[in-house]
Amino acid sequence: MSMTFDKVRALVQRGEVRISDHGYDEMSDEDILVRDVLAGVLDGVVVEDYPTYVKGPCVLVLQKDLNQQPIHVVWGIPKNLSSPAVVVTAYRPNPDLWSEDFTRRKT
């Protein structure tokens, strides 16, 4: 399990969440609702973990929207801070670029 994702889920449960400008733009472009991102995090599955990312630890998570459609969400925690959980971006994974279960990039 990812320590970053454990922290993100705890922050989301406490309501300590921020959505980046880029995150809002991408969510709007992909018709992803904030409530879908927040509701899906608890059952999310870590796809990629970046605990030492230069801007702070982040993690790519496979989640489902309220219609049970897959979405990828990149969650981060700002460097040298313990809060908030930040939605860096969210998008609907392209089946041409991802495995059938959307957990592995195609080569």
Task: Quote the domain boundaries for residue 29.
Answer: 3-91
Q: In this predicted model, what pLDDT tens digit does every residue of 6-22 receive, in sequence order?
A: 999 999 999 999 999 99
Asked if residue 98 belongs to a domain, the reply is no
Give the pair of three-digit tokens for residue 33.
Answer: 């609702």
Asked if residue 74 belongs to a domain, the reply is yes
| pLDDT of amino acid 47 | 97
Over range 32-46, report the average pLDDT: 95
81: helix, strand or coil: coil
Asked if residue 101 belongs to a domain, the reply is no
Write down the pTM of the prediction: 0.95
Q: How many domains does the chain have?
A: 1
Over range 82-106, report the average pLDDT: 96
| pLDDT of amino acid 51 | 95
**How far, in Å, CA of 54 to CA of 106, rounded?**
25
Asked if residue 100 belongs to a domain, the reply is no
Q: In this predicted model, what pLDDT tens digit does every residue of 49-82 receive, in sequence order?
A: 999 999 999 999 999 999 999 999 999 999 999 9
Asked if residue 19 belongs to a domain, the reply is yes
